[in-house]
Structure 1
């Protein structure tokens, strides 16, 4: 079987695509990429459709070895480089595609500039689909490789044993991943459970992302919200981006692996256009919120889709990366001739 061998896994990477939101009514969380924009851009760079399964990286990337005739990869969403190992190795810039031959070993180090990045492979990572998705959801052990994070020694199966030579592509700017400004929120559905002063404070104050964060959600630290109708409700549906507020008044931003129902009131919901920004947050990052209407949210989503398409349309050709080890294995000279021959 062709694949990428995991020499060292790093910090619990998982295989993700665009998830399975269509089965939440069955109690199955959507999962999928924390940053679907970065996933789509990474996939476009290697010629895949937007939702092809890729490796989602957080905190620290893996060391991988190509066990295929060739593979084309792209690391997107971070400035961290791919470090090709061996005597003739060296760094390969992120946010570009590169073709590696069999036996090439490369490492991705710490992601100091973002909460999440993606390693896409031409053809995609070929694990079985569960409910129409290859996304990993570790709490129920479905999707990915045995429903768990990737570990040392795993083989990430590839859909293609080899990829053709072509011009490599790069994304000349990471501006799309460095969007700043308030996180936009639509109030509800239980905003009436909170005092008016609390809601005003939510949009006036700054909150800090704590270390209590995973693919399920991020706990925030900042001004506590005051409940006026208690902090328990009859469990109802949860969506990605919901801001749930338990009894201590500290908001929780719910991400891709969120539960499908919950019994804490939700003061608001982060609009879908800003959900990718949540995935990029790191412990210690400060955020603030802005209230918008449903109509504003719909317009922002259309703008995001247009901006993503523009990033892909503006890909540039990348200079070739020379695999010297592969070059030296080839018989490039069949003989020597003299000047008179």
Structure 2
């Protein structure tokens, strides 16, 4: 059986897929990839369905050796270098990892979450329909744990290492405000507080993990206190606790909570928000239901169209190929040296 042997990785490196839906009534967090768009892109490069589980890296990379045969792999997400036995692999490009070779994923130079997909996915038993690791419940992952040196990840024995492909799409998040829908408890805040929330800039604090991102910045004033009867939580809900500082709830969030929620990040913007690093500025813009639904449909269509955007890796030096790639990384004035 083909497998990936973990030689080294960061402490929160884990298996993540679409998450486990349908269990929140039992108190089970959905979990799942923090940046599903990047996971879907990595899967497209190796011929997998978009929600196939991949390896999620959080800032730090890792090293993996292929055993038992050749394996198609691809890395997408935060800006991390991928090398095979020291040879640099272009970004967003799949590659054949041959038996005995080692893939090295570097630390994130920008963004936070990166995803390594393998052709055919991993042959690991799901828990409640998902391989996604959830730290607090110890569900999913490999034997209920994140990955560590010495682990062996079995891969689909029937998967074929296909032709290397490149994805010529810019997956980096823009600087546009993160879109939100107000509510469900926006009536717990003064009009001035809502105006502050939508007009001022906040900063992602170091207190940010897969459960939630706490923001610093202007204090949001409550109108009716900061305690409510606990109710259901969805990914993207923005709680305002007694401190007045927003907490954006992420994939590993709790399923119920007792702080009022001023707004909810729309699903189409969650991936972009997740890639913000501590110290990053963030602004919010309110949208109505029609715009949120249109964005969700555009997001779904973008995911579905990924296979059509792939290009075979070419090494010929035709004019068309040279014009399609970035050959210059910068310019230097020789007279200024």
Using the size of structure 2 for normalisation, the TM-score is 0.90
Superposed CA deviations along residues 53-102 of structure 1, whole A, max 9, x for unmatched, are 100111011111111211110001234221223xxx41112311101111
Residue 245 of structure 1: aligned partner = 240
Question: In the comparison of the two structures, how many residue pairs are matched?
Answer: 315
Alignment of 1:204 with 2:229, yes or no, is: no
Residue 332 of structure 1: aligned partner = none
Residue 295 of structure 1: aligned partner = 290
Superposed CA deviations along residues 113-172 of structure 1, whole A, max 9, x for unmatched, are 1111110000112211111111111110110112221111111221227634x4211112
Secondary structure, aligned partner of 1:201: helix
Does the 8 Å contact 1:70/1:162 carry over to 2?
Answer: no
Does the 8 Å contact 1:46/1:97 carry over to 2?
Answer: yes
Distance 1:178 1:264 in 2: 29
Secondary structure, aligned partner of 2:181: strand
- Give the unaligned 5+ runs of structure 1: 321-341
Distance 1:274 1:136 in 2: 22
Alignment of 1:170 with 2:163, yes or no, is: no
Give the alignment partner of residue 317 of structure 1, picking from 299, 306, 312. 312
Distance 1:77 1:136 in 2: 18
Alignment of 1:145 with 2:142, yes or no, is: yes
Residue 72 of structure 1: aligned partner = 72
Give the alignment partner of residue 126 of structure 1, picking from 123, 128, 131. 123
Secondary structure, aligned partner of 1:118: strand
Residue 229 of structure 1: aligned partner = 224
Distance 2:206 2:145 in 1: 22
Give the alignment partner of residue 152 of structure 2, picking from 139, 152, 155. 155
Does the 8 Å contact 1:168/1:317 carry over to 2?
Answer: yes
- Point out the structure with max Rg over C-alpha: 1
Secondary structure, aligned partner of 1:135: coil
Does the 8 Å contact 2:81/2:107 carry over to 1?
Answer: no
Does the 8 Å contact 1:72/1:163 carry over to 2?
Answer: yes
- Give the unaligned 5+ runs of structure 2: 316-337
